[in-house]
Amino acid sequence: MSSAAQARTATPSLRRRVTAAVLGVVAVLLVLVVVLVDVLLGARLESDLDSRLRDRVVQAQQLIAAGATPEELVTGLSGQQIRIKVSTADGEVMGDPGLNAPGTPPPAGRPDRGPGGDRTDDPSRPPSAPVPAGRPPVPPDTGSRTVTLDAGGGATVELVADASDVAQVRNGLRAVLAGSVLLTLLVALGAVSFVVRTALRPLDRMTALAGRITAGERDARLRPDRPHTDLGTAAAAMDGMLDALTDAERRSREEAERTRVFLADAAHELRTPLSGITAVAETLERSGPDADPARRTRRLELLLGETRRAG
């Protein structure tokens, strides 16, 4: 790798890096909030479901102690996400048909009864008519709680706190929260982009100033009003650098001017003796060897003097 490539400075986009960093932090915080809300709401819904189940267990024990019939148990205990099935000693099953074991037909001669003890095979009801006040025959959710009570005489009461509604509420909430997170990130993207663009305007002014100085406006400066801030320190450092460059340029021009004057003076000082030397040499050349020796000697002395002067 060449030295020029090694000296090259990485210049990523500051706006993109700041925007991405802020959005990353916001996204992490939103995810944490969503998880916290989901956990707390789920715990609250499950706690409420358990509380309703405990209340129904107490109510069922009271009804059993009072000698309530299976129909009265089904009617009094069903509802509010609590499903009930009463099985008598002779195999009759009443209550929620979804609580029957999969593939288990009702006992022969003893049809299932819906909530309230209504027979589901009532000839007066059309075959396709739903069971009044009943549930569709679907099994309970896997997270449901089940309590089985002994009703005496071989009968059992099965109470199931169905968690399917809790799962449905949590899934709906998760969908709403996911949409809210996406919408919040989009709004945050626009807001952060605007804020970052506004915050980095001093850098745009520095860039514009560099362009003006390059165009020839050497006295242009940033002159920050708060030189102790981050951008103020950078602006002050840039002004100091520009002052040093301007002074160096001025000194360079002064040195160049002094050199030009020196060369002009030297050329002027050399021009006179060189002209004399040229003139004397031309005269000696024209006089030839037959010239007066005294005059020739005088001219040679003049030539020597001009030469020394040039030296």
Average pLDDT value for residue range 185-206: 86
If you average pLDDT over each of 4-18, 66-80, 82-96, 165-179, which comes out highest?
Answer: 165-179
Task: Please tell me the predicted confidence (pLDDT) of residue 290.
Answer: 61
Measured CA to CA, the distance from residue 95 to residue 106 in angstroms comes to 12
pLDDT in the model for residue 289: 64
Residue 124 pLDDT exceeds 60: no
Q: Each residue of 20-43: pLDDT tens digit?
A: 899 999 999 999 999 999 899 888
Residue 99 has pLDDT above 50, yes or no: yes
SS (H, E, C) the chain: CCHHHHCCCCCCCHHHHHHHHHHHHHHHHHHHHHHHHHHHHHHHHHHHHHHHHHHHHHHHHHHHHCCCCHHHHHHHHCECCEEEEEECCCCCEEECHHHCCCCCCCCCCCCCECCCCCECCCCCCCCCCCCCCCCCCCCCCCCCEEEEEEEECCEEEEEEECCHHHHHHHHHHHHHHHHHHHHHHHHHHHHHHHHHHHHCHHHHHHHHHHHHHHCCCCCCCCCCCCCCCHHHHHHHHHHHHHHHHHHHHHHHHHHHHHHHHHHHHHHHHHHHHHHHHHHHHHHHHHHCCCCCHHHHHHHHHHHHHHHHHHC
What confidence score (pLDDT) does residue 51 get?
Answer: 82
Catalogue all structural domains in the chain, each as residue range(s) with its CATH number.
14-122+130-193 (no CATH), 200-311 (1.10.287)
Question: Whose structure tokens read 């020196």?
Answer: 262
- Is the pLDDT assigned to residue 123 strictly greater than 50? no
Flag whether pLDDT at 189 surpasses 80.
Answer: yes
**Span 183-190, mean pLDDT?**
92
Confidence at 138, pLDDT banded by 50, 70, 90: low
pLDDT digits (tens, 9 = 90+) for 220-260: 887 787 878 877 888 888 888 888 888 888 899 899 999 99
What's the chain's average pLDDT?
A: 75
Residue 30 tokens read as 């939103």
- Give the per-residue pLDDT at 9: 61
